[in-house]
Every structure is written in C-alpha cells, then in structure tokens.
Amino acid sequence: MKPLSRRTFLLGGGVALASYLAYEVKSLRVVRYTVPVQNLPLPFHGFTILHLSDLHQKLFGREQARLREFINQQRFDMVAVTGDLINQFQPDLEPALTLLHGLTTKPIFFVNGNNESGAMVRHHYQISDRLKRVGVATLNNRALPLVRGEFHLWIAGIDDPSNGRDRLDLALSGTGDGAPVILLSHCSCPFPRAAKDGLPLVLTGHTHGGQIRIPFVGALWAPGMGLLPRWDYGAFREGKTTLIVNGGLGESILPLRFGIPPEIVLVTLTSSKGAAGA
C-alpha cells in the first residue's frame, strides 16, 4: 500500500476540519440546568425557562423550521431572549420574528443586545414595537410580574450595558416584595451587583462561548471581555446567585464554531434545597 504523502495528509485533514466546523455551525443541542431559588413559591417548583440568545439573523432551515421543531420537542413554561437577534450592520428582524411567532403560547421576555443598540445608532432600526406585535415583552430597565394563581415571580431586564443606558436600579425598583427576581441581561456585567442584591438567577449571552472553545481552557476571547474571559460560558455561582451564560445560536465576525455548537438552554427552578448544574 502506497503511503500517504504529506500534502495528501494535510489536504485530508483540512477537509475533515472544514467539515467539522460546518457541522458545528449547523448543529443544535439543548443544555439543561437546575437552579435553587430561595422562597420559590410552590406553583413555580419545576418551572422551566427556555433561554435563547444571539440568533444574529441565522436561519435553521426554511422559516426556522428545524429550530422550531427542535424547540417544540422540549417542555418549558416561559421564554427568555437575551439579545442580539439581529446583525447591527444589515439588520433584519424577520428570522427572529418567524421563530418567536411560533412560541407565543408561552410568555416571552426580551432585552437588547449590543447589536440591537448598534442598529439603532447606525440605522435608527428599532424592534420593540415589532416584537410587541407578536407578543414579546421588552424589558429594558424594567420588571414585570409573572403570575401563577396567588403567587408571582419578577422577570427583570436591563438595557445592553454597551450603550451606557443600563439601569439595574430601575429594573429592580418595585420588586422588593419578597418574590424572587430573575434578571435578563445581554452580557454578564451585572452579575456581581446581582449577587450582592441576592438575586437567585441571572441569564445572559453575548460571548457565544467564545465560538472557538478549547478543552480544559474555555473561550480564548469574547467581545468586550478580552482574552480568556472569566464568565465565558455555562453556570457560575456566587452566594445565592446563579449566572448562566448561554452559548447562543448564531455567530458574529466569522461564521464558524469549534467546541461550542449552537444551543438552546432550559433552566428549571427548584426550592433552595436543590443544586445548580448542567
């Protein structure tokens, strides 16, 4: 048998790597977490949040058919969307509207990401009214109660910190009635303050898990967070507060992923006797 030449070996390796990168970009996975919440009302035990982030106008099949089918195979009670539905340079909300319109049997909450902020500055492209028409509540520096019977949770959200208009104080105003507060933010910047305030859960995205993720190292770089970012992906715990960083669905700058395929996240709330983890 004739041995492989170095050129053939390298070419074959390059084709294999390209095939793997293409697979990573188009694949989908679900990541699950269980999060303990102090003073969680009984009707919310086992309450599950579908967390979506960083779609970046990406399509999964015609009219998002593959993504919608994948999501509809899951059980969840609410949808949290933590920004970057669009691309700020050529914004197009239709891929996101197509997806979210099929999920409106559940309450949906949204906060701006840096791409929504950038699109407003560059093109005066605003999306909150269009999201509202399909049943999505935008939570930029405010909170809304989510009610079950006589009990409720607060779903709070802040505007994207990159635009300087984030106001956690406004988002939390009026929520001091003892009911748990779930905070939505595009990036993880408010995590230390949320931990200081004792919020049980913070849901974020932005990093894409680095898009290129090295085993035992993690993300090499994330936008606005530099090299080897601290809160790059997954679950983090400080005091009574759990931070979950979603790896996201889309990509930015380069359409590739390595070691971190597109994902949806399911977060199930339990009493404080439970434990956080994937």
Enumerate domains of the chain plus CATH numbers.
29-271 (3.60.21.10)
Alpha helices (runs of H) in the chain, residue ranges in sequence order: 6-26, 65-72, 94-101, 114-123, 128-133, 168-172, 191-197
Q: What secondary structure does DSSP assign to 34-75, as a single string?
A: EEEETT--GGGTT-EEEEE---TT--SSGGGHHHHHHHHTS-
By the 8 A CB rule, do 37 and 200 touch? yes
By the 8 A CB rule, do 117 and 102 touch? no
**Which tokens go with 188?**
């993880």
By the 8 A CB rule, do 51 and 80 touch? yes
pLDDT value for 164: 85
Amino acid at residue number 94? E
In this structure, what are the phi and psi dihedrals at residue 208, rounded to the nearest 5 degrees?
Answer: 60, 20
111, exposed or middle or buried, with CB in 10 Å at 0-12, 13-18, 19+?
buried
Q: How far is CA 171 from CA 161, 168, 175, in A?
A: 13, 5, 8
By the 8 A CB rule, do 143 and 130 touch? no
Pairing of strands 221-222, 263-271: unpaired
Amino acid at residue number 213? R
Instruction: Provide the β-strand partners of residue 2.
Output: none
Which of 154, 151, 148, 149 lies closest to 168, judged by CA?
154
Query: What distance in Å separates the CA atoms of residue 184 and residue 263, rounded to the nearest whole number?
Result: 17
Whether the model clears a pTM of 0.85, i.e. scores above it, the answer is: yes
In this structure, how many other beta carbons lie within 10 angstroms of the beta carbon of residue 213?
21
When computed from its CA atoms, the radius of gyration of the chain, rounded to whole angstroms, is 19
- What are the per-10-residue average pLDDT scores of the chain (278 residues)? 51 39 71 97 98 97 95 97 97 98 95 96 95 96 97 97 90 96 96 97 96 89 81 96 98 91 98 57
Query: What distance in Å separates the CA atoms of residue 163 and residue 109, rounded to the nearest whole number?
Result: 20
pLDDT value for 193: 96
Pairing of strands 263-271, 29-37: parallel
pLDDT value for 17: 37
Query: How far does CA 83 lie from the centroid of its chain?
Result: 7
By the 8 A CB rule, do 40 and 270 touch? yes
Query: What distance in Å separates the CA atoms of residue 171 and residue 182, rounded to the nearest whole number?
Result: 11
